[in-house]
Amino acid sequence: MQYFAQLDDNNIVINVMTIDDNECRTANGTVLEEIGIGFCKKLLGPNTKWKQTYPDESNRKRFSRVGDSYDEALDAFISPKPYPSWILNEETCKWESPIGPPELSGEISMLPPDKREPVWDEEAYQADNTTGWIILQV
């Protein structure tokens, strides 16, 4: 199976379609993105815009989902920005907090990982940009 993301005029993913490998093959059996895009356009219209997406994330950094954007310069699908202060790591195409990952200390650090959940607090970060992570006990 091959997967194709339909993009709107702003490169936002509006649909992800699964198609059979045979609809993307050349005469000698090679799977090509261009052939798959042609198949998608035949089904949903010649003016539609498509990019192949890969469930194993071997290409384009991420398997696309509806609501993601496609960045042509990075040739990558990017999830929506989760918080105003977060920064896109252009190498991984993932959003990162401006203060890095949460640090564990005190009693919460003694809990097993499945009993604690880091949650970002944008208001706390905006009030004091050295804070932002809250660790909840689950």
The string of pLDDT tens digits covering residues 69-97 is 999 999 999 999 999 999 999 999 999 99
Q: Global pTM? A: 0.84
Question: Left, alpha or beta for 20 (phi > 0: left; psi -120 to 50: alpha)?
Answer: beta
Domain definitions of the chain by residue range = 2-80, 106-137
**Within a 10 A sphere around the Cβ of 36, how many other Cβ atoms?**
23
Give Cα 19 distance to the centre of its chain. 21
Query: The tokens 């091959």 sit on which residue?
Result: 2
Contact 72, 111 (CB under 8 A): no
The string of pLDDT tens digits covering residues 98-121 is 998 887 776 666 777 777 888 999
Looking at the DSSP bridge assignments, the partners of residue 16 are 5
